[in-house]
Amino acid sequence: MKKLSLLFTLVLAFNFLLAQENSTDVPTPNYRAAAKYSPTNIAKLVHSTSVRPNWLKKGNRFWYSYKTTEGSKYYIVDADKRTKSELFDNEKMAQWLTEITKDPYDAQHLPRFNFEFVKGETAIRFRITSTEKVEVVNEDAETKNDSTATKKKKRKPKMENKTFHFEYRLGSNSLTLLDNKKKGKEDWKRWANIAPDSSIVLFSKHYNLYWMDKENFLKAVKNEKDSTIVENQWTKDGELYNSYGGGSGRGETNESMKKDKDKRKRIFGTWSHDSKKFVFQRRDERHINDLWVINSTASKRPTLETYKYHMPGEDEFYKTELHIFDMPSKTNIQVQLDTVKQQNIQVYREPIKKANFSDDFIPSLLLSKKGKIYYNVISRDRKKMDICVADINTGETKVLIEERFNTYIESRPLVLLNNETEMLHWAERSGWAHYYLYNINGNLKNQITKGAYHVESAIGVDEKTRTLYFSAHGIPKDQDPYYEHMYKINLNGSGLKPLNPGNYNTQNSMADSNSFFVSNYSRVNTVPKSELRNSAGKVVMQLEEADLSRLMETGYQFPEPFKTKADDGVTDIYGVMYRPFDLDSTKKYPLLEYVYPGPQTEAVNKSFSVRMDRLDRMAQVGFVVITLGNRGGHPDRSKWYHNYGYGNLRDYGLADKKHVAEQLADKYDYIDINKVGIYGHSGGGFMSTAAILVYPDFFKAAVSSAGNHDNSIYNSWWSETHHGVLEEKDAKGNTKYKYMIDTNQSLAKNLKGKLMLIHGDVDNNVHPGGTIRMANALINANKRFDFMIMPGQRHGFGRMTEYSFWLRADHFSKHFLGVEATSVDITEMNRDRPKSK
């Protein structure tokens, strides 16, 4: 008996020691490490990571600012002369500003500048607001009589910060004070659509088209409420939801509609180059059903937002008219469209020159300078696209190019060249995205780019040498196919040449002349660098290398890109792994997948990024975090890859997410395949919930924010495009649209793991109704889950983004690491905040 008792005691002791040993296999949640890499803290460690050139109009010149741990510097580059110099000397600028404004500055701490290049781009102008208080000068104020003026003098004067308006001539040794005037109010930018020659200004009022001449517009610029301004009404049949601009849109409440009903509003459209014609798409939405959100945290009483929202499968569709307004005669005609068909219309526009980006107003111009309107028409099911041309004087139209596909058709802007006798057309008709050369009558001349790679877009065309500059993915077969590079090729399809090769992802900005471009390049595990290259691909000069020194001093480590196979065992899947910086390979780490299913993109970084709130930070809590693609995801690969999920929009990517996790666990012993979690936002919220319900024995925990769990109530464009909608004819020959899709709530009974749902209550993109339906189904299935509403937040959560991070951290820490945060205060959010008195 004593022997049995001793044996029992030994067994208990062994089990206790085994439990103690196993408990050390799980990492302890490290909230402090995660807090260290918050967006606020990262902004103190890492500053500029790329050069964003501001191209100038004269020559191949640009200026840019670049910030390091030593402060910001401003440079001007002349690519033709191969020179780079400081726009001004920081120390001298600090001295001048200090002497004039009486506010202290030094070379590392200059104010934020907003430059305007003047005098043939030989000088810059800018304004600085000082701490000195001065009396507000109201130049437009008029007193009715002396007694009123006397009363006003008795009031305490209204004060404001003093403004200094400066001019600095490049290369000079002084700073000139021009005046102390503030920049005039620019409320006109909210409503004015100015003709290219500035002769006339269009706007919307009471849902109709109005116009005013230049003289009256200048009055409005000075004082919008000037009673002498003459407005001219052009149309009279506009009404709410069938307007000429200024219609009610998302974000407008019942209160704001009343308040702003008499205000001038914007009308969007496209001008002819001679300013005589204005092309406007009028969309009739009156028959589209309403959708609503209520902002309960608004001032005073909660406000109601009502907006039109077309849902997939609904028979009624938007009805579009294409109007051509003639400025001299004040008449208008319509392009001859088939308004019975349900279709989308897009007018092609002339690309905006990069040197014009800083202009006060940038008119939207028609692609053609010769009185033609080029546009495309895409059927509601997105399987048919026609590229058309209309005569701007008669509205007569004809089809130039037809595209047909059994899934959905995507497009890029049409390019006119050779005095508008030829066109460049982008299409995926071969299963890969390529450019085709057509004559102006729509006859194919030749295919320009060919092969198993994806052409992203045309960057520019040199018509003299008949060279196309373009960006593409997947041409080098020995690197990640998502990496983007610049190329050039002859229009006859010969002479393909890479312009910035290398095993990096690049982001590029080419001068309007097509002679030079700035190339920013990095991977997720390299320091970002920037260089200037010419049109032959030769490096002209090195520009910058990001300063990551302080980040690295914190113990930061680059993530690891990986390549593995999809669930079919054939398709390559690319991803990135983020680990705790203090990873102990003797422990077992839960695996979290951050997901976004596409199909318009995948949530996998290709370049170094300081946006760590969803990836690096979450790993520091005590997890291995991965992001990865899936079949049916990113469009930058083959059409087959991109359209894999067509007709199966809920489940198409889940098998790949599961299979990749299993492969990584086989490769890395420290990954605990029994603790796999998944989280995501928007489409990722939809996918993460689907995953925990489709594979309930594999995915053990999920956090799903702003998910479109029920795509039957999501917008029709996304749902019908990527999932598909079936056109059917009824007995009377009327076209009906059938949309059938699996929803997350239909699987509520499958839930075994720990699910958290989050949604903003005024999300007017993915309506909170989708998440509420999911919650309703879970309750009806008698399931326990967590549910959080973000008050007053749109789709992106705004100021509550940081709060949502800690909700995720708490959820996975509790269910995977065995530690529950029980404090009322989120300590890591409160620790570094200054306490108010």
Per-residue pLDDT of 381-392, as tens digits, reads 999 999 999 999
DSSP string for 688-735: HHHHHHHSTTTEEEEEEES----GGGS-HHHHHHHT--EEEE-TTS-E
Burial 331-348 (b: 16+ CB within 10 A, else e): ebeebebeeeebbbbbbb
> For residue range 194-206, what is the model confidence (pLDDT) as tens digits?
999 999 999 999 9
The secondary structure of residue 747, as a DSSP letter, is G
**Cα separation, 354 vs 218, whole angstroms:** 27
Other C-beta atoms lying within 10 Å of the C-beta of residue 553: 9
Q: Which residues are CB-contacts of 835 (< 8 A; sequence separation ≥ 6)?
A: none
**Cα separation, 603 vs 626, whole angstroms:** 10
Q: Which of 460, 463, 556 is nearest to 508 (CA)?
A: 460
- pLDDT score of 734: 83
Burial 285-297 (b: 16+ CB within 10 A, else e): beebeebebebee
Instruction: Choose between 479 and 256: higher pLDDT.
Output: 479
**Cα separation, 341 vs 378, whole angstroms:** 10
Cα three-residue angle 160-166-172, rounded to 5 degrees: 155
Instruction: Choose between 340 and 652: higher pLDDT.
Output: 652
Q: Is the pLDDT of residue 19 over 50?
A: no
**Cα separation, 691 vs 700, whole angstroms:** 10
**Cα separation, 288 vs 754, whole angstroms:** 39
> For residue range 706-732, what is the model confidence (pLDDT) as tens digits?
999 999 999 999 999 999 999 888 888
Q: Using DSSP, state whether 74 is helix, strand or coil.
A: strand
Q: Is the pLDDT of residue 837 over 70?
A: no
Of 524-528, 611-615, 643-647, which gets the smallest average pLDDT?
A: 611-615
Q: How far apart, in Å, are the Cα atoms of 57 and each of 65, 194, 306?
A: 18, 21, 44
> For residue range 157-214, what is the model confidence (pLDDT) as tens digits?
899 999 999 999 999 999 999 999 998 888 999 999 999 999 999 999 999 999 999 9
Phi, psi of 487 (to 5 degrees): -140, 165
Report residue 11's pLDDT band, with 50, 70 and 90 as the boundaries.
Answer: very low
Cα three-residue angle 756-762-765, rounded to 5 degrees: 85
How many residues can be counted in the chain? 837
Q: Is the pLDDT of residue 22 over 70?
A: no
Other C-beta atoms lying within 10 Å of the C-beta of residue 142: 7
H helix or E strand, kind and range, residue 40: helix 39-45
Instruction: Choose between 812 and 136: higher pLDDT.
Output: 812
- pLDDT score of 626: 98
CB 118 within 8 A of CB 124: yes
Largest CA distance in the chain: 115
Of 65-74, 257-266, 676-685, which gets the smallest average pLDDT?
A: 257-266
The secondary structure of residue 370, as a DSSP letter, is S
Tell me how far the alpha carbon of residue 63 is from its chain's centroid. Answer: 24
H helix or E strand, kind and range, residue 684: helix 683-694
**Cα separation, 287 vs 308, whole angstroms:** 9
**Cα separation, 761 vs 767, whole angstroms:** 8
Report residue 288's pLDDT band, with 50, 70 and 90 as the boundaries.
Answer: very high
What is the arithmetic mean of pLDDT over 291-300?
Answer: 90
Other C-beta atoms lying within 10 Å of the C-beta of residue 612: 23
Token readout for 28 is: 């302890």
Token readout for 283 is: 């969309």
Report residue 156's pLDDT band, with 50, 70 and 90 as the boundaries.
Answer: confident
List every span in the chain annotated with CATH 3.40.50.1820: 24-45+551-830
Other C-beta atoms lying within 10 Å of the C-beta of residue 532: 23
Beta 735-738 vs 303-308: how paired, if at all? unpaired
> For residue range 65-115, what is the model confidence (pLDDT) as tens digits?
999 999 999 999 999 999 999 999 999 999 999 999 999 999 999 999 999
Q: Which of 807, 804, 795 is nearest to 760 (CA)?
A: 795
Q: What is the architecture of the domain spanning 24-45+551-830?
A: 3-Layer(aba) Sandwich (3.40)
Q: Is the pLDDT of residue 573 over 70?
A: yes
**Cα separation, 465 vs 681, whole angstroms:** 47
H helix or E strand, kind and range, residue 94: helix 90-101
Domain 192-265+267-405 has CATH 2.140.10.30: yes
> For residue range 484-524, what is the model confidence (pLDDT) as tens digits?
999 999 999 999 999 999 999 999 999 999 999 999 999 99
CB 337 within 8 A of CB 319: no
Phi, psi of 794 (to 5 degrees): -85, -155
Helix 654-667 to helix 683-694 angle (10° resolution) is 70
List every span in the chain annotated with CATH 2.140.10.30: 192-265+267-405
- pLDDT score of 424: 98
Beta strand segments in 261-315, E: 270-271, 277-284, 290-295, 303-308
Report residue 6's pLDDT band, with 50, 70 and 90 as the boundaries.
Answer: low
Q: To the nearest whole percent, how much of the chain has pLDDT over 90?
A: 86
Q: Which of 102, 73, 89, 95 is nearest to 164 (CA)?
A: 102
The torsion angle over the Cα atoms of residues 373, 374, 379 and 381, rounded to 10 degrees, is -140
Q: Which of 723, 700, 701 is nearest to 710 (CA)?
A: 723
What is the arithmetic mean of pLDDT over 300-312?
Answer: 92
Report residue 144's pLDDT band, with 50, 70 and 90 as the boundaries.
Answer: very low
CB 628 within 8 A of CB 577: no
Long-range contacts of 397-405 (CB under 8 A, 24+ apart): 397/335, 397/336, 397/337, 399/442, 400/438, 400/441, 400/442, 401/425, 401/438, 401/442, 403/427, 403/429, 405/429
**Cα separation, 505 vs 609, whole angstroms:** 12
- pLDDT score of 610: 84
